[in-house]
Amino acid sequence: QVQLVESGGGLVQPGESLRLSCTASGSISSIDVMGWYRQTPGKQRELVADITSSGSINYYHSVKGRFTISRDGAKNTVYLQMGSLQPADTAVYYCNARRIFIGNVEHYWGEGTQVTVSS
């Protein structure tokens, strides 16, 4: 099992920055990928960025160039640095960990942290 605890959400104005943190505990050595998803009411949860255990990074949707995902192995923590935030970035952001098996993927989720971008 993997437990994930997020922090760092809040209310910011358009153009400002925010950093989210996610600390993992439990069977962390078995995690293959960690990432961040976001969800707004009435919409599906969407993947924003992820980082593999080997350090490969992917960005999705319109965040490339504005968001940066990174990790601190010593602290078992993944960060999402968000810049040039826009109202469209308003969502609940969820930390995600994946364990990948042949024919199956296990997902673990944090409780989510609200990010609101508004003037």
Strands (E), 1-119: 2-7, 10-12, 18-26, 33-39, 46-52, 57-59, 67-72, 77-82, 91-101, 104-109, 113-117
In this predicted structure, what is the pLDDT of residue 78? Answer: 96
Q: How many CA atoms lie within 13 A of 96 on its CB side?
A: 24
In this predicted structure, what is the pLDDT of residue 61? Answer: 77
- Work out the number of other CB atoms within 10 angstroms of the CB of residue 84: 13
Residue 95's nearest CA partner among 17, 32, 3, 12 is 3
In this predicted structure, what is the pLDDT of residue 85? Answer: 97
pLDDT per residue rounded down to tens, the chain (119 residues): 899 999 999 999 999 999 999 999 998 888 999 999 999 999 999 999 999 999 999 999 789 899 999 999 888 999 999 999 999 999 999 999 999 999 999 999 999 999 999 99
Q: Which residues of 31-52 are buried (b: 16+ CB within 10 A; e: fewer)?
A: bebbbbbbeeeeeebeebbbbe
Under 8 Å between Cβ of 20 and 113: yes
Under 8 Å between Cβ of 115 and 14: no
In this predicted structure, what is the pLDDT of residue 30? Answer: 87
